């Protein structure tokens, strides 16, 4: 999946590979847009665990634009960052959405203290933009103090 994510990133961001025109019906396109909108921005557990920042893509529109949004996922059950990416990307692929892992790190989530710490990096995906993760986390946890740091693994 890491290779697939990297290849997708190269194709999306390279001028060497122009977008291929896709013909879709507007009703199908709006269904995918609705599915993209329905994806929660944040799903995290309590405690200390690995997390990843994921870009989720909808279908390319007729004008060449491609709707997307960034989401945060972190699960205590995941031994590796890739475990999270595999789970999330396969469930979103079932909805017709593509994903790209933007990096990872760790989260310490202490709801009883209204505290979330975002730090560290992923050995496989690199360091996520912790400030972007913080911005997204605030959409669900506005009442929490959210700290970021580049320290630790």
- Secondary structure letter of residue 95 according to DSSP: T
Which candidate in 9, 23, 81, 109 is catalytic? 81
Question: In which order are the strands placed within the sheet that holds 115-119?
Answer: 42-44, 68-74, 47-57, 98-110, 115-119, 145-148
Q: Which of 39, 42, 37, 35 is nearest to 139 (CA)?
A: 42
Cross-strand pairs, 47: 109
The answer to whether 50 is a known ligand-binding residue is yes
Q: Establish whether 9 is a catalytic residue.
A: no
The residues assigned a catalytic role are: 81
Q: Which residues are annotated as a binding site?
A: 50
Binding residues for substrate: 50
């Amino acid at each position: 999946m890491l290779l697939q994510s990297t290849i997708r990133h190269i194709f999306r961001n390279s001028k060497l590979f122009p977008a291929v025109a896709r013909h879709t019906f507007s009703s199908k396109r709006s269904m995918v847009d609705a599915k993209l909108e329905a994806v929660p921005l944040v799903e995290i557990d309590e405690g200390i665990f690995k997390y990843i920042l994921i870009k989720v893509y909808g279908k390319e529109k007729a004008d060449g634009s491609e709707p997307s949004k960034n989401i945060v996922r972190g699960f205590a059950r995941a031994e590796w960052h890739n475990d999270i990416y595999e789970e999330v990307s396969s469930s979103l692929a079932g909805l017709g959405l593509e994903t790209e892992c933007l990096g990872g790190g760790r989260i310490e989530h202490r709801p009883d203290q209204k505290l979330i710490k975002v730090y560290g990096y992923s050995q496989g995906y690199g360091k996520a933009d912790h400030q972007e993760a913080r911005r997204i986390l605030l959409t669900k946890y506005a009442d929490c103090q959210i700290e970021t740091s580049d320290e630790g693994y």
